[in-house]
Each structure stands twice: as C-alpha cells, then as structure tokens.
C-alpha cells in the first residue's frame, strides 16, 4: 500500500465498526459500546422500510446522543420507500443510512430484500440512487460476496459497479456466500467459507471505493491486519460476546487513548446512562444483557453473569444489583494465556 493510500485508509469513516445484529445491537447495547470506544462506528439492528414508514418511529429509531457516530440499517427493496425511510432517518439525526443486501433469513427472502438482492444488482442500484437523492448523509451497502451458485467474482463485481455508479459512499462486504436454501441464518454465519481475498481483490479493482470487510474477525489485532489492504473492518459477534475487546479499538486503530481504563471503569461510566434508562421504565436486564461477557477470563466472571441472570431480571433490580454483580469479579489483572 502506498503512503497516500495508507493515509486515506487511516482517515476512513468506516475504519472500525460494530456490525448490525438483530436482537442484539439495540440502543442500550450501542450506548454501552460507546463507553468502550469513542471512534467505533455503531449500527442499529436492521429495520424494515415498512416499520419505519408505518410503525412507532420513536421506539424503533430513537437513540441517545452519546451513540454518534451511528448508522441506521434499512431492509427493503422499493426505491421510493427506501428514499422516504432514509429521509426519516436523517431527520432523526443518524450519521449514515445502510442498505442490507446480506441477511439470509426467511423473513427477508419473503420480503424480497436482504441477501436475495445480490441476484438483482440493478434494483440495488436504483435503491441506492433513490436514497442518495433523498439525503445528504452517507448511503452505504452491506452485502455478501454472492449467494447460492453465483460466482463471487462476477456477482460482487456486478453489484459494486452498479452501486458505485449510483453514488454509494462505501461498501461493507461479509466475506462469505449466503446459501438461501439449505442453511439457516446461524449456519450462514459459520459454514460458508470465508474469502477475505475476494474482498481485497474488489478493493484493488476499485481503489476509490471505501471497502470494509466483515465476517469471522474476533480481535482488534486481526482487524489491524485487514486494514493493511482495506479501508475498514466490521466486527460482529466477537464485539458483542467479548465487549472488553473494544477497549483496544481507539489506542490500536486510531492512536488515541481508550475512553476508560478497564472493564470496571466501563461499568462506572455506563451508570449515568443506565440510571436514566431505569428512571424511564427500562428493566435492568435490558441493559445488562449486553454486558454479560465484559469480564470474560477474570475470576468471578461466572458469578457476575449468574447474579445478573438471577437478580437482574427482577422488576425491582437497579444499579445496586449491577454493583453487587461487579463486586464478585476479581480486579487482579488476568494472566496471559
């Protein structure tokens, strides 16, 4: 990579992000992740255009100002509906609108969106163009390298060429195929082999397009390796199941100090947000379910999880319950494996 390319890579808005994950990356999860990294780009769960246009918008789209930069991921395939949903998202203050072209669930197949849109790159281009015409914030696409029997070389090139022509601001590529028949959504996250090289070839063929890679990345150290060739890395399940890993994002990828010293300080920093949410009627479990892996590897981590699972579900559970759980964890620095 040339010095100029390295500079552009380092300044990419998509240098590191936490993947949109259904039932996981809700507003409380994102607020907690923001405590761990100032620089990570955060994404909502996928929200369908029908829900945005006709559902309870504040409940679906509302978020805390602490979450910025935060992107809304949309699911849909009607250009006009996506354009209107993007306008609504911009009005809520989102920093980006992302189109889902990668989810393989039965629900998205029935609705003609998600990964099945890999078969209709022309329609994806129309959707991106309509969204770009409706908003001033970046419009991005998250996709697979192909679906079913598609040749990933041809399929990904075709999609990229069309969305670039439509004005897309960045492409996030989950470096696996999706098998729409025969594999469950969970199996589609693990069984199709990863092909990071395919994503690198796309970037080399389109050096002007910001390209981020997703899939199978478990540590910030791994992310750093991918950033030698690509503009960004998106981490999913590992960021959720081992959130303390996010403490390495700012120092290791951005050359800045982490927002807090350690996992214990992260809990303390999250308390004001948690107190406000509890006062508004949120149950403690809705907040702490995103924190269960925070102390992985420390003596007392199991007791921490058990206490929150047992006592955090109770209607009266509050910050005292969380503090009791944290007190069960050893503050001694864990020995290296």
Query: Do the annotations mark residue 98 as ligand-binding?
Result: no
Is residue 237 annotated as involved in ligand binding? yes
User: Is 109 assigned a ligand-binding role in the annotation?
Assistant: no
133: annotated binding-site residue?
no
CA atoms within 13 A on the CB side of 88: 24
SS3 48: strand
| Residue 125, annotated as binding a ligand | no
**Residue 143 CB contacts under 8 Å (≥ 6 apart), including other chains:** 101, 102, 115, 118, 156, 159, 171, 172, 173, 174
What's the chain's Rg over C-alpha atoms?
A: 20
307 is in an annotated binding site: no
Q: Which of 103, 116, 127, 143 is catalytic?
A: 103
Q: What sign does the CA torsion over 22, 25, 28, 29 have?
A: positive
Tell whether 54 is in a known binding site: no
Is residue 193 a known part of a binding site?
no
**If 0-12 CB within 10 Å is exposed, 13-18 middle and 19+ buried, where does residue 199 land?**
buried
3-state secondary structure 63-81: CCHHHCCEEEEEECCCHHH
Residue 55 marked in a binding site: no
Alpha helices in 216-262 (DSSP H): 220-226, 237-241, 249-254
Does the annotation mark 143 as catalytic?
Answer: no
Annotate 174-200 with three-state secondary structure: EEEEECCCCCCHHHHCCCCCCCHHHHH
What residues are designated binding site for FMN? 20-22, 73, 142, 174, 214-216, 236-237
Just list the catalytic residues. Answer: 103
Binding-site residues from annotation = 20-22, 73, 142, 174, 214-216, 236-237
């Amino acid at each position: 990579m040339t010095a100029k390319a390295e500079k552009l890579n380092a300044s990419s808005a998509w240098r590191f992000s936490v993947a949109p994950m259904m039932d996981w990356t809700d507003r409380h999860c994102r607020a907690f992740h923001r405590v761990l990294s100032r620089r990570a780009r955060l994404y909502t769960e996928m929200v369908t255009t029908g829900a945005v246009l006709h559902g309870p918008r504040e409940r679906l789209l509302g978020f805390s100002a602490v979450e910025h930069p935060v992107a809304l991921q949309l699911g849909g395939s009607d250009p006009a509906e996506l354009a209107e949903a993007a306008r609504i998202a911009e009005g809520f203050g989102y920093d980006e609108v992302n189109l889902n072209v990668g989810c393989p669930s039965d629900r998205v197949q029935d609705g003609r969106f998600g990964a099945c849109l890999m078969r209709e790159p022309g329609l994806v281009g129309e959707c991106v163009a309509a969204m770009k015409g409706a908003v001033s914030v970046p419009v991005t696409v998250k996709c697979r390298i192909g679906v079913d029997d598609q040749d990933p070389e041809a399929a990904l090139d075709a999609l990229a060429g069309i969305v670039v022509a439509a004005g897309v601001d960045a492409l996030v590529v989950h470096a696996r195929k999706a098998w729409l028949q025969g594999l469950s959504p969970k199996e589609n996250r693990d069984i199709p082999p990863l092909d990071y090289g395919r994503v690198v070839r796309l970037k080399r063929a389109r050096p002007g397009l910001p390209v981020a890679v997703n899939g199978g990345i478990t540590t910030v150290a791994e992310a750093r390796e991918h950033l030698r060739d690509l503009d960004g890395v998106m981490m999913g399940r590992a960021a959720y199941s081992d959130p303390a890993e996010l403490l390495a994002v700012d120092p290791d990828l951005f050359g800045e100090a982490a927002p807090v010293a350690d996992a214990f300080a992260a809990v303390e920093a999250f308390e004001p947000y948690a107190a406000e949410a509890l006062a508004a009627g949120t149950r403690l479990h809705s907040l702490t379910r995103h924190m269960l892996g925070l102390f992985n590897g420390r003596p007392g981590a199991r007791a921490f999880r058990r206490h929150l699972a047992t006592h955090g579900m109770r209607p009266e559970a509050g910050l005292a319950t969380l503090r009791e759980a944290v007190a069960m964890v050893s503050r001694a620095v864990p020995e290296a494996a």
